[in-house]
Amino acid sequence: MKIALVQQHATQDCEDNLRRGIESFHQAAKSGAKLIAFAELAFSPFLPQIPAGPDSVAKAEPIPGPTTEQFSELAKQYGVVVVLNLFERDGENTYDASPVIDADGKLLGVTRMVHIMEGPGFHERGYYVPGDNQSFVYKTKVGSVGIAICYDRHFPEYMRALGLKGADVVIVPQAGAVGEWTEGIFEAELQIAAFQNGYYAALVNRVGKEDVVHFSGESFVVDPHGRIMAQAPQGEDFILYADCDFNQIPETAAKKHFLQDRRPDFYRAFGLLD
């Protein structure tokens, strides 16, 4: 099953960002991708690079809404599963949210980022309420798709839970900067998560220099044995493809050993689980 990660830059022109994203969707679908994913806030500037102001909430959109409706039509047209990431408004609350749309165009649900970061260039607590929903793994036409939005991937408990919920592939919409962390650590982090939990992991990053943050790109896909299968270049718009064979998953060390040999009773008895 071919997946496609759309790595693209964003400007202040949100209509143009969306137009280019849709063009990339068409290209990826025509190239045979059955699952297409976009980066964090792919169709807008990265809002949290500056602290939130009184007008920030006006930039959020409902889900379902205009963007998801457009991609639902495209998903149905091509028979493709789509993972987006949007600045969502629900009542008075706003979220970093990833809608998952099945190949028939149905909106299966929305995963909201659970862990919210605050730091230079990532002033997220002024924009996002921590996610409160229970939808993290979705049964789609192509398989079980898990979602870990950007900062969530740093928490092993979260990544393990996606494995326990049966994810075949975990999509990670990210906004990662050039030189943000030690070189290679993002790749190593998902290599370990994929290996320990028995799923494919696909990180799709923003790219390009914005007002404060310079996003690196370098989107990548890891197989359930912990090997990097494909990686996009740094600093340029790119559609990254990878062929994922979910038939490999039952033969992984995680499925044959690690998940079966867990000891939740022991962890609880010794206070290792909160």
Residue 274 is predicted with a pLDDT of: 67
Residue 173 is predicted with a pLDDT of: 98
pLDDT in tens, 15-72: 999 999 999 999 999 999 999 999 999 999 999 999 999 888 899 999 999 999 999 9
Q: Is the pTM of this model over 0.95?
A: yes
Beta carbons within 8 Å of 137's beta carbon, 6+ residues apart:
144, 145, 146, 147, 162, 165, 166, 167
Architecture of domain 2-265: 4-Layer Sandwich (3.60)
Residue 99 is predicted with a pLDDT of: 98
Q: Within the chain, which residues score under 50 in pLDDT?
A: none
Domain ranges (residues) in the chain: 2-265
DSSP 220-235: EEE-TTS-EEEEPPBT
Measured distance CA(163)–CA(165) in Å, rounded? 5
